[in-house]
């Protein structure tokens, strides 16, 4: 027997069987598992026309309409059906050049830019045409086989305000399509603000109309009289927590200035206004001009697209002293009656931190009212040197834990994209920076909100809300209600700091004294002048700026008992806290608490809105 032939026979038979199995598997995949060719065949007989839902509208806390929809139209086409097109006439009807036509056709066929491209399925040629622009094209549509008009909507804005809050929508990117198969090339998606944060709620659900084609590809009507059609589901409406009148006033006061204002309702964590300056008109980011306008805003050196309220990280300055007083009281470093000397500043072992003139020595409440630097430097120096902690590093760890519990050094979780965490240094940071050789004097500037400490205006406003609540805060949020949806527990559950309410009362008394001047002097007395009928509390900050004039900061709340608003104002290069921060904060509180400004305050608001700060130099 020829064993070599016998073995070869089995090899050949096995190979044939393997090839047959591969063919069977491939046929099973094509005919059973994959619907690709079925879709190609269906597209010869049917056209699945997408029915786009109307996007959810957006209101302010008082039910005033902020964002709504306006009809717009897209030009779509099926490449396979485009035959004998009079290109020049087509371009003329749309008001475009031949170069634009050719470039767009190339982009559509580029599978890298348009991964879903198929000659058999509708492709987007041009988007967001107005009714007027589309009218001429509709009249000539019969001359352009394969092309059709698809109804969409674009965003319209009732006010030229709140651009950073509302955000915008734009065409999806390939990454968006890859991440979520809901989207097709040419669809729109939220890009910034609540449009992005609440995209899945706002967008709704697409519908479809199944249209029947004849042998020439012409539409003959709805298949089975629309029996298989699916109606689109409109997006959910949003009710924001902002007061649009307060928002508009804040943007007016911050004209020609760089900085931010954030106001919060302490009991709920609802953001009443969130101003970032410079800002932009949200209408610029709507329609076909969006791309061009976005580029212009990107090139602006003042960075108007940057939401400084949640992305800007700044030294909090003397507003930070309230947190230090709370920590020193909690850790039994001081009592409310403890006094420290101030010889025009903190002076110890050759180190000096300057301060302005005031009575000395003084206890905690006057120290807050007068914003004494020396008091809080002495407090931190004693805490980091206290033997009960074992070492400055362990004491600083306790200090940082308290800071984190008060809402610093991490993202609070606001329902807007892009929030920054700020920065609170820890022992490991200083060990690396000083090679393990540091003490309380080395890091003393953090006691007054300088040095390595960084916070966002949102975090400073949240500190005001926490003090107003005497020891707790609710995560700040911009959306009050989503239609038909339960509010996330993150935005309803109080978060406590672990510091006793009695200690907060001491801080409140100090902030109230800053307004009344009851301790002999106060850095926020202008608040009392502008709000004579309100028991307001405040704390100024003058944050040192190595690049120019100091930043003007204010943090406060009102009324003192049963507070309704907590606010932070940050004006870059504004100088003393009382120069810009205090009056702007007082005017904002007046507007919210009374629903309008008093005549005197309206005149002051007009004055401040006309002030210009350029690199720290004020121009009137």
The model's pLDDT over 488-521, given as tens digits with 9 standing for 90+, comes to 888 999 999 999 999 999 999 999 999 998 877 8
The range of the structural domain enclosing residue 181 comes to 46-240
What spatial distance separates the first Cα and last Cα of the chain, rounded to whole Å? 112
CB-based burial label for 484 (10 Å; 0-12, 13-18, 19+): exposed
Q: How far, in Å, CA of 514 to CA of 500, rounded?
A: 22
Choose the weakest-confidence range: 149-158, 193-202, 369-378, 556-565.
149-158
Do 229 and 319 fall into the same domain?
A: no
Residues 412 and 382 in one domain: yes
Name the pTM for this structure. Answer: 0.87
Highest mean predicted confidence (pLDDT) among 40-49, 349-358, 429-438: 429-438
Rounded Cα distance between 206 and 54, Å, is 9
| pLDDT band at residue 601 using 50, 70 and 90 as cut-offs | very high
pLDDT at 431 over 60: yes
Asked if the model's pLDDT at residue 186 lies above 60, the reply is yes
Do 565 and 587 form a contact (C-beta atoms < 8 A)?
A: no
pLDDT for res 209: 83
Among residues 181, 207, 240, which one ends one of the domains? 240
pLDDT at 402 over 80: yes
Residues 341 and 207 in one domain: no
On whether both 257 and 368 belong to a single domain, the answer is: yes
Q: Residue 6: its pLDDT value, please?
A: 62
| Count of domains observed in the chain | 2
Residues 429 and 516 in one domain: yes
Lowest mean pLDDT among 256-260, 371-375, 546-550: 546-550
Residue 251 corresponds to which tokens in the numbers above?
């943007």
> For residue 296, what pLDDT band results from cuts at 50, 70 and 90?
very high
Query: pLDDT confidence of 486, banded at 50, 70, 90?
Result: confident
In degrees and rounded to multiples of 5, residue 44 shows phi and psi of -70, -30
In a domain, 395, yes or no: yes
Q: Do 209 and 232 reside in the same domain of the chain? A: yes
**How does pLDDT run across 304-342, given as a tens digit for each residue?**
999 999 999 999 999 999 999 999 999 999 999 999 999
Torsion of CA 277, 283, 289, 290, to 10 degrees: 60
User: What is the reported pLDDT for 44?
Assistant: 53
CA geometry: angle at 400 spanning 502 and 421, to 5°?
105
For residues 469-492, give the mean pLDDT.
Answer: 94
> Which tokens go with 156?
């319209």
Per-state percent for the chain, helix, strand, coil, to nearest 5 = 40, 20, 40
Tell which residue, 126, 123, 129, has the closest CA to residue 146: 123
Whether the per-residue pLDDT at 618 is higher than 50: the answer is no
Q: What percent of the chain clears pLDDT 90, i.e. is strictly above it?
A: 65
Question: What's the whole-number mean pLDDT along residues 113-125?
Answer: 80
* Residues 128 and 199 occupy one common structural domain: yes
Whole-angstrom CA distances from 408 to 265, 316, 323 are: 19, 11, 10
> 215-271: per-residue pLDDT in tens?
555 556 676 767 778 889 999 999 999 999 999 999 999 999 999 999 999 999 999
Residue 394 reports pLDDT greater than 60:
yes
Find the angle CA(582)-CA(417)-CA(55) to the nearest 5 degrees: 110
Judge whether 590 lies within some domain: yes
What's the pLDDT score for residue 620?
38
Q: Which residues of 156-193 are buried (b: 16+ CB within 10 A; e: fewer)?
A: ebebebbbbbbbbbbbbeeebbeeeeebbbbbbbbbbb
Asked if 479 and 367 sit in the same domain, the reply is yes
Taking the C-alpha atoms of residue 595 and residue 532, their distance in angstroms, rounded to an integer, is 16
Within-domain flag for 21: no
Taking the C-alpha atoms of residue 9 and residue 20, their distance in angstroms, rounded to an integer, is: 17
Whole-number pLDDT of residue 216: 54
At residue 585, φ and ψ (nearest 5 deg) are: -60, -40
Q: Are residues 171 and 185 in the same domain?
A: yes
Q: Which tokens in the block code for residue 257? A: 């200035």
10 Å Cβ neighbour count for 218? 10
Cα–Cα distance, 432 to 445 (Å, whole number): 18
Find out whether 264 and 477 touch, Cβ atoms under 8 Å: no
**321, 371 contact by CB (below 8 A):** yes
Q: Assign 3 a pLDDT band (cuts: 50, 70, 90).
A: low
Range from 23-32, 190-199, 438-447, 565-574 carrying the lowest mean pLDDT? 23-32
pLDDT of residue 619: 45
CB of 477 within 8 A of CB of 414? yes
In a domain, 361, yes or no: yes
The answer to whether residue 188 is domain-embedded is yes
Kind and range of the H or E element at 208?
Answer: strand 207-213
Same domain, residue pair 403 and 477: yes
Per this entry, what is the length of the chain?
A: 620
Cα 458-565-168 angle, rounded to 5 deg: 50
Evaluate whether 271 touches 242 at the Cβ level (below 8 Å): yes
263-287: average pLDDT? 95
Task: Report pLDDT digits (tens) over 72-110.
Answer: 888 988 888 887 888 999 998 888 999 999 999 998 888
CATH of the domain at 105: 3.90.1310.10
Among residues 209, 240, 271, the one where a domain terminates is: 240
CATH code of the domain in which 540 resides: 3.40.710.10
Beta bridge partners of residue 494, listed in sequence order: 474
**Is residue 257, in this structure, part of any structural domain at all?**
yes
Average pLDDT value for the chain: 90
Same domain, 150 and 265: no
Express as a percent the part of the chain with pLDDT over 70.
92
Residue 200 confidence (pLDDT): 95
Whether residues 493 and 523 share a domain: the answer is yes
Contact 476, 463 (CB under 8 A): no
Contact predicate 527/378, CB 8 Å: no
Average pLDDT over residues 512-533: 91
26 located within any domain? no
pLDDT higher than 90, residue 7: no
Of the residues 190, 210, 240, the one at which a domain ends? 240
Say which residues have a Cβ less than 8 Å from residue 343's Cβ, sequence separation at least 6.
360, 374
In a domain, 140, yes or no: yes
Structure confidence at residue 119 (pLDDT): 82
């Amino acid at each position: 027997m020829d064993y070599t032939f016998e073995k070869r026979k089995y090899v050949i038979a096995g190979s044939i069987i393997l090839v047959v199995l591969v063919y069977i598997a491939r046929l099973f995949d094509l005919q059973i598992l994959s619907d690709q060719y079925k879709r190609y065949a269906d597209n010869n007989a049917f056209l699945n026309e997408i029915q786009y839902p109307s996007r959810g509208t957006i209101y302010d806390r008082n039910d005033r309409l902020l964002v709504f929809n306006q009809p717009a139209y897209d030009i779509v086409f099926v490449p396979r059906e485009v035959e004998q097109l009079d290109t020049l006439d087509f371009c003329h009807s749309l008001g475009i050049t031949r170069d634009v036509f050719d470039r767009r056709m190339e982009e559509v066929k580029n599978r890298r830019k348009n991964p879903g491209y198929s000659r058999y399925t509708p492709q987007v040629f041009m988007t967001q045409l107005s009714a007027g622009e589309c009218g001429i094209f509709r009249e000539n549509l019969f001359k352009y086989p394969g092309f059709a008009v698809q109804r969409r909507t674009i965003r319209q804005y009732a006010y030229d305000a709140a651009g950073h809050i509302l955000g915008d929508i734009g065409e999806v990117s390939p990454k968006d399509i890859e991440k979520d198969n809901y989207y097709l090339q040419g669809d729109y998606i939220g890009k910034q603000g609540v449009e992005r944060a609440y995209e899945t709620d706002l967008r709704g659900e697409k519908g479809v109309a199944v249209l029947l084609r004849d042998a020439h590809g012409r539409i003959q009507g709805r298949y089975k009289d629309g029996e298989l059609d699916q109606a689109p589901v409109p997006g959910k409406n949003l009710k924001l927590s902002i007061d649009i009148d307060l928002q508009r006033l804040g943007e007016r006061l911050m004209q020609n200035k760089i900085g931010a204002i954030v106001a919060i309702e302490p009991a709920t964590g609802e953001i009443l206004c969130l101003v970032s300056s410079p800002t932009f008109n949200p209408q610029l980011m709507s329609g076909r001009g969006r791309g061009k306008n976005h580029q212009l805003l990107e090139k602006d050196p003042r960075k108007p697209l940057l939401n400084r309220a949640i992305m800007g990280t700044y030294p909090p300055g003397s507003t930070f002293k309230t947190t230090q007083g709370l920590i020193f009281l909690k850790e039994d470093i001081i009592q409310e009656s403890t006094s420290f000397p101030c010889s025009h500043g903190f002076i110890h072992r050759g180190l000096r931190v300057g301060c302005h003139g005031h009575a000395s020595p003084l206890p905690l409440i006057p120290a807050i009212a007068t914003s004494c630097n020396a008091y809080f430097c002495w407090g931190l120096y004693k805490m980091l040197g206290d033997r009960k902690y074992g070492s400055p590093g362990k004491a600083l760890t306790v200090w940082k834990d308290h800071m984190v519990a008060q809402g610093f050094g991490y993202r609070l979780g606001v329902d807007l994209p892009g929030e920054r965490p700020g920065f609170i240094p820890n022992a490991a940071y200083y060990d690396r920076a000083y090679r393990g050789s540091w003490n309380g004097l080395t890091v003393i500037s953090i006691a007054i909100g300088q040095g390595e400490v960084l916070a966002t205006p949102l975090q400073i406003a949240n500190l005001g809300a926490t003090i107003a609540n005497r020891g707790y805060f609710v995560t700040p949020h911009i959306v009050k209600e989503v239609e038909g949806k339960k509010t996330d527990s993150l935005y309803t559950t109080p978060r406590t700091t672990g510091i006793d309410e009695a200690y907060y009362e001491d801080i409140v008394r100090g902030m109230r004294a800053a307004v009344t001047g009851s301790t002999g002097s106060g850095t926020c007395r202008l608040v009392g002048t502008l709000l004579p009928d309100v028991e307001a509390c405040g704390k100024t900050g003058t944050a040192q700026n190595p690049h120019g004039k100091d930043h003007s900061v204010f943090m406060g709340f009102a009324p003192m008992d049963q507070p309704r608003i907590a606010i932070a104002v940050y004006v870059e290069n504004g100088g003393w806290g009382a120069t810009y921060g205090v009056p702007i904060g007082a005017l904002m509180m007046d507007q919210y608490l009374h629903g309008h400004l008093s005549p005197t305050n309206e005149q002051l608001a007009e004055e401040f809105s006309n002030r210009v700060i350029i690199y720290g130099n004020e121009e009137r």
